[in-house]
Amino acid sequence: MQHRKLGQDGTAVYPVGFGAMSFTNFYGPTNEAESHAILDRALEVGVNLLDTSNVYGQGASETVIGNYLKANPAAKEVFKIATKGGITRKADGTGNTFDNSAEHLESELNKSLTRLGVEAVDLYYIHRRDPSIPIEEVTETLAGFVKAGKVKAIGFSEIAPASLRRAHAVHPVAAVQSEYSLSTRAPELGLTQTCAELGVALVAFSPVGRSLLTDTPLSFEAAQNLPFLVKNPRFMEPNYSANIKATDAFRQLANEMGIAAAGLAIAWLLSRGEHVIPIPGTRSVAHFNQLVEGANRELSAEELKAIDRILPIGWAHGDRYSRAQWEGPEGYC
């Protein structure tokens, strides 16, 4: 298994990482025992990149990982941990705002290190840009964390290619995180290319389309009970039914190819470039096994054409975010 790198000369990681937002109740109820079972399986398979954030469950995801590392000290030498800062709650509690000030980021990083039980994280992202602070200044702050030994590499989430170039000119950026999948292909309009040019990893979150690209998509009824998805255009009718119908053929193709639909979606992403690292999340060990199956499947040119015929660019019904959910990510097309 050929590993991929976080940055041109950075840490080598398994081609598929793990998105630990699912260690919270974001996509449905879970508990620490179920989450730790997934981490046990990750160690067995070789998945070593764990991606979390200070705001996932308001620190719950980091705490779950920290408790696992405390109970399994040897895992600290295996897992490469990425976390994030920069999102905070509005004073009136009505939603999120963004704070990239040095004081806020340092405070939140210190809290993350405490919850994780580590002295340094392998990768620290700005979760969302604070438009009031130039990205060069924010990059200098992150570089200071590297110099202090609290962070080994830096990254940004949901930024535009032009912003990446500005940041990278100040200090090497190891990774940019963006939603990227067969259902969300906007990164192909400049971000994948810029990352490849600069030697930056493109870490793809929601790589199975928030379940749409799996054998068992979340039901419409289940989505109504999840605060994020109930307001997400792709999970609202009539878009939801249209998206299920559109992806039925993808599930059938995966079955004919002898692979889980989720694994096929991951394999497709891995074919986009050696710098692309998907970070799917799950609450189930069985589904985890389906996801990592994609790392062992190299798709032929004919198989890729078959996928593109079934799910061509722009097939999805509804935007990936609602208007409110779009607050924060940088547009560039």
Beta strands, E only, the chain: 4-5, 12-13, 18-19, 49-51, 80-85, 87-89, 96-98, 123-126, 154-157, 175-179, 201-205, 276-278
Distance CA(181)–CA(298), nearest Å, equals 17
Distance CA(270)–CA(265), nearest Å, equals 9
Q: Give the Cα-Cα-Cα angle 197, 16, 321 (nearest 5 degrees).
A: 75
- Give the contacts of 274 (CB within 8 A, at least 6 positions apart): 4
14 is catalytic: no
User: Which class for 227: exposed (0-12), middle (13-18), buried (19 or more C-beta within 10 A)?
Assistant: exposed
Q: Provide the 10 A C-beta neighbour count for residue 38.
A: 24
Q: Are 304 and 269 in contact (CB under 8 A)?
A: no
> Which of 14, 56, 124, 321 is labelled catalytic?
56
Distance CA(28)–CA(144), nearest Å, equals 38
Determine phi and psi for 39, rounding to 5 degrees. -65, -35
Nearest to 46 by CA among 3, 100, 93: 3
Q: Is 242 left (phi over 0), alpha (psi -120 to 50) or beta?
A: alpha
- Residues with active-site annotation: 56
